[in-house]
Structure 1
Amino acid sequence: MTGSNRFPALHWIVHQWKDGRSPALWLLGAMMGVLAGYAALGLILAIELTSYLVFGSDHELLVSGVSGLPAWQIMLAPVGGGIVVSALLYLGRSRGWLQENRSGGVADVMEARAARSGHITVANGLLSATIAAVSLGSGGSAGREGPAVHLGAAIASLIARLLGLPPRAIRILLACGAAAAVAASFNAPVAGALFAFEIVLGHYALRTIAPVAIASVTGALISRFHLGATPAFAMPALSPAGLLDLPGVIGLGLLAALLSAAFVRSAIYAPRWIGETANRVGLPLWALPPLGGVLIGGLALIAPEILGVGYEATSNAVSGGYSIAVLIFLVVLKLLATAITLGFRFGGGVFSPSLYLGAMLGAAFGGLLALTGAETAGMSFYAVVGMGAVAGAALGAPLSTTLIVFELTASYEASVAVLIAVSLATVLSQSIAGGSIFHKQVLRRGYDLSRGQARVLLQTIRVREIMSPMQEDEAGADVDKEAPCLFDDDYLGKAIGFLSAEALDGTVVRSRTGDQPIIGYITRTEAHAAYAKALAEAHEEEHS
């Protein structure tokens, strides 16, 4: 009697796992919720430890924590952190643990889901998280949620490979890891799940809902068990909105569009411009962080509110703790500080800075409305609306940021206002900036996710995967050795375009190695059939 006949239940579970079916994925979703939840907690504790070593203060309370420190310590803290980050970047590049001279983030998870069969190495995830912990703990102006999502997805990728899961199940596990990480960071399980659907997966297929939801709730429960049920930001009671607040919300949505577009452009172009400048002067990219630390330290002497994740400053803005002039000043400095942090290769994400910018903008807008004498819902209400509008527009996640606001405030009126403002801001911002931060980051690596999976398939399927193999001597004497051909590493999109432009029914495929021998043959029919099959599989995955 075989093992599968003796233990039919075990055989069923293994078969379900291998096939990537829903019941087994629910169990894996819960497992990922635990692992990614604790990974997010570990990252928070690592940032906390670094912050106490550098500033002697909680990383979420840096504004008040550094108030009594000497100027030299505030100035040198980001420089010292930059030196450590440089060493980690050099180590990662020399060992092949980092793809580029930077740590990983949400865009890498999106790229892995769309173009790399969900593959993220654990070494990359752990090193990126370490870089982020040092960067944020020493004052780098960025967010902790992106590194947490990347680390959770790296763990999910490892588990999926160990179990031998099919690509579809791997992608679902990536979403589970991302959902649990966001839920644990913000103590917001609904928003965590929606973020995974909206950003990581890009669809809401029925099969994905249960495992992602289970992972997100599990991650949030772990966070509440260890850190308590308090939200990430201190939220005051919000005043009820009136009819006069509707045009105010629309006006704030317009301003949020402009600010989020500026944020997207600075986050994308600062790393590019600084990197190109470093290459021109012969400075390796891994050596940039200490130089950026000097600039961050200088800005911190002017306004310590720009340091770290900025949770305390965000809470102060929501509570009405700053004047209008200070709020506007902090918007400008935070934009500059975050651009420096990302451009000089510190680690960190963009979620927290976008919430910070939105809170400052919204509070300033609410304060200006109050000066007119109009009866409005007040600065706190508009600060909350601004948080959701700027973050949702900049990240391309309007629904999940709306849900984060609802879970933080439990205010239906504020959530409706955020939905109005973020809808307007997202459309206008992406028209101005050309897309969200995450999509533009992935686009720089060659993949246009904004046009859907159909475009990505043309950029990821290789000719070698669909050609008919053959030996060079099989080509015969009729083959023109100088005729145009395709290479085995060409993408499907190029193959279809080449065959169409040359009006060919088929052509030989060469290897790029050695003297470029003929190794296969591909026809136009095979290319179109492969594309049709891939489209059908993608459609089934996104709608079932």
Structure 2
Amino acid sequence: MQDSKGDQDRLWFDLLLIILVGMVIGVLGAFAANGFVIGAKTLFELIPVSPEQNWWQNFSVHWLVLVIAAGVILALKRLNGIARWHGPADTILSAQVPKEPFQTRVGMLSTLAAFTSASAGASVGQYGPVVHFGASVASFIRTMIPTRIKPEVYLAAGVAAAISAGFNAPIAGVIFASEAILRHFSVRALAPLAVASVSAAAITNLLFKRGAPYDIAPLDFSMHEVIPLLLAMAFLSAAIAILFMSNLLKLVSWTGKQNNEPLTIFLAASMMAVIGTIVPEVFGLGTATVNLFFSNHFELTYLLIILGAKFVASILCLGMGLFGGVFSPAIFLGACSGTVVGVIAVMLGYPVSVVPLMTTVGMACVASSVVGAPIAIVVIVFELTQSYQYAVAAIFSVAICSLISTRTYCYSYFDRQLLLRGFDLRHGRENLILGKVKVADLAISPVKGLSPADRCEDIVTSLCDSNNTEAYIVDEHNSLLGVVTLTNALRSSGLTAREVIDT
């Protein structure tokens, strides 16, 4: 009875500890995510430019700010001895491979670098750095509040909190952490993830008064009428996602081969200033511009200009050293391409209501292919719109788009990054762990091969002497023919190995 009571007390203590850890991660994750988003937006709005100034004046200001940001990022990297910035790919790797420890300090400095880029107006994302920072916060909390919760669950809880606070989508936060970070759905992980995610959403609404980042007004539509558009959106989004990921990684590779980081990062800052001054919508995180897409604010020609400019600007910034996330650029490119499809559809006779629908679906498609979380992205659509119809439309296109991009390129940008570093996630974490184990390091006893003509009585004696349960039967060339288990040998007295061999 005492042991039973002790186990019960331990159960309640563990439960309270899980709730405490989840709430602490959620609260700190909410502060981190909202601090990044609000801080970057506020600092960018302080840049002294205006439509009343001429092009050269605006360019000069943006160029100066971006060059200063590039210098700060370069100094952060060199003064701290960082070989490369860390992001969601490193969070995924640490969750999948226990021998790849999460580097909390580098993670926090990487978030600071991304914050510097975004505040200066570089065409980079907020959600990737926020996700990694959430994991960094959770990793730090693990050192302060150690529990029996696995290290990867701590990281996933931090990610759930960051997504929940960033999108005001607590359910999507839990699913994203399970789908993209843990790569499985676990009952044991559900409690800390849910507590962290819901706590982050509550703090975001209570203290920061932030709702959903995107203003989507769901409208009624007939599903059978828009299926052709949803199919077109899926194929177009897959093409955009693949082109974005492949060209970005090619530029990253090219930049590394130049072995001149100061030149490339200052070149990226200069080109970003030129593109952004010509097409101001591509500056920064792009949240306000995406909201204008939903309201059909732009003409078709200018939409195409914005799409091309954002595509080029994001690849230049991310590929040449202005560190940041790929999530927000993917959302922007998807939303813009969806708006293009919607505007063309209206010209062909569809109702105006297809514009916000296609914008939402395009946003979901490109983002799901780039970050590798199709289910979570569909749930984000549902939580943002509160519309079952929008969610059904999104999952139709997202499923097709993700299938195309996965089969023709990779599951996600982060998976491709890890693949280039020698970590193939396609076969699961077990394959990753076993792939790092050398046979030479294993304590394996030499195995003696037996002949097919050996009798089962002799095989039993040999197995008992060697303390083994399987006999390996080999031919005259020492090639394996099969095995005979101890159980089968005992049952087959009088027979030879050839007659009971299991191939």
Q: Same fold (TM over 0.5)?
A: yes
Identify which of 96, 99, 104 aligns with 1:114. Answer: 96
Secondary structure of the structure 1 residue equivalent to 2:80: helix
Query: Which amino acid is 2:61 matched to?
Result: Q
Aligned to 1:517: none
Percent of matched pairs sharing the same residue: 28
Per-residue deviation at 1:24?
3.3
Whole-Å separation in 2 of the counterparts to 1:212 and 1:235: 27
Aligned to 2:499: none
Aligned to 2:212: 231
Identify which of 245, 251, 264 aligns with 2:232. Answer: 251
Query: Which amino acid is 2:366 matched to?
Result: V
Whole-Å separation in 1 of the counterparts to 2:422 and 2:55: 45
Aligned to 2:123: 141
1:27-426 equivalence runs, <5 A: 27-53=20-46, 55-56=47-48, 70-93=58-81, 98=82, 100-101=83-84, 103-117=85-99, 119-165=101-147, 169-276=150-257, 278-279=258-259, 283=260, 285=261, 288-375=264-351, 377-426=353-402
Whole-Å separation in 1 of the counterparts to 2:42 and 2:442: 51
Per-residue deviation at 1:368?
0.7
Cα distance change of structure 1 residues 310 and 465 upon mapping to structure 2, 3 Å threshold: farther
Whole-Å separation in 2 of the counterparts to 1:163 and 1:66: 55
The answer as to whether partners of 1:40 and 1:184 remain within 8 angstroms in 2 is yes
Q: TM-score, normalised by structure 2?
A: 0.81
Cα distance change of structure 1 residues 461 and 81 upon mapping to structure 2, 3 Å threshold: same
Aligned to 1:430: 406
Query: Which amino acid is 1:217 matched to?
Result: V
The answer as to whether partners of 2:369 and 2:406 remain within 8 angstroms in 1 is yes
The answer as to whether partners of 1:89 and 1:286 remain within 8 angstroms in 2 is no
Cα distance change of structure 1 residues 31 and 463 upon mapping to structure 2, 3 Å threshold: farther
Whole-Å separation in 1 of the counterparts to 2:281 and 2:343: 19
CA-to-aligned-CA distance 1:204-225 (integer Å, 9 cap, x gap): 0111112111111111111111
Q: TM-score, normalised by structure 1?
A: 0.75
Per-residue deviation at 1:144?
0.9
Query: Which amino acid is 1:90 matched to?
Result: R
Cα distance change of structure 1 residues 365 and 152 upon mapping to structure 2, 3 Å threshold: same
Aligned to 1:458: 434
The answer as to whether partners of 1:271 and 1:344 remain within 8 angstroms in 2 is yes
Whole-Å separation in 1 of the counterparts to 2:52 and 2:317: 21
Per-residue deviation at 1:450?
1.9
Query: Which amino acid is 1:86 matched to?
Result: L
Query: Which amino acid is 2:72 matched to?
Result: V
CA-to-aligned-CA distance 1:104-130 (integer Å, 9 cap, x gap): 211110011112457323321221111
Structure with max Cα Rg:
2
Q: Which runs of 4+ in 1 moved over 6 A?
A: 7-11, 62-69
Cα distance change of structure 1 residues 14 and 459 upon mapping to structure 2, 3 Å threshold: farther
The answer as to whether partners of 2:48 and 2:61 remain within 8 angstroms in 1 is no
Cα distance change of structure 1 residues 64 and 193 upon mapping to structure 2, 3 Å threshold: farther
Cα distance change of structure 1 residues 10 and 31 upon mapping to structure 2, 3 Å threshold: farther
Secondary structure of the structure 1 residue equivalent to 2:335: helix
Whole-Å separation in 1 of the counterparts to 2:176 and 2:370: 14
The answer as to whether partners of 2:58 and 2:277 remain within 8 angstroms in 1 is no
Per-residue deviation at 1:23?
5.5
Whole-Å separation in 2 of the counterparts to 1:462 and 1:184: 42
Identify which of 413, 418, 421 aligns with 1:445. Answer: 421
The answer as to whether partners of 2:95 and 2:181 remain within 8 angstroms in 1 is yes
Q: What 5-or-longer segments of structure 1 have no aligned partner?
A: 17-21, 469-502, 506-544
Per-residue deviation at 1:260?
1.1
CA-to-aligned-CA distance 1:408-444 (integer Å, 9 cap, x gap): 1112111111100000000111222233101111212
Cα distance change of structure 1 residues 158 and 242 upon mapping to structure 2, 3 Å threshold: closer
Cα distance change of structure 1 residues 205 and 237 upon mapping to structure 2, 3 Å threshold: closer
Give the alignment's Cα RMSD to 1 decimal: 3.1
Per-residue deviation at 1:240?
2.5
Aligned to 2:472: none
CA-to-aligned-CA distance 1:35-91 (integer Å, 9 cap, x gap): 2122222323442453245x159xxxx999999973311233222211111111112
The answer as to whether partners of 2:139 and 2:154 remain within 8 angstroms in 1 is yes
Per-residue deviation at 1:504?
12
Whole-Å separation in 2 of the counterparts to 1:463 and 1:162: 37
Identify which of 7, 10, 13 aligns with 1:12. Answer: 10
Secondary structure of the structure 2 residue equivalent to 1:232: coil
Deviation larger for 285-294 or 385-394? 285-294
The answer as to whether partners of 2:111 and 2:130 remain within 8 angstroms in 1 is yes
Query: Which amino acid is 2:177 matched to?
Result: A
Query: Which amino acid is 1:215 matched to?
Result: A
Whole-Å separation in 1 of the counterparts to 2:385 and 2:280: 27
Q: What 5-or-longer segments of structure 2 have no aligned partner?
A: 445-477, 481-503
The answer as to whether partners of 1:78 and 1:294 remain within 8 angstroms in 2 is yes
Cα distance change of structure 1 residues 456 and 63 upon mapping to structure 2, 3 Å threshold: farther
Whole-Å separation in 1 of the counterparts to 2:441 and 2:185: 29
Cα distance change of structure 1 residues 371 and 224 upon mapping to structure 2, 3 Å threshold: same
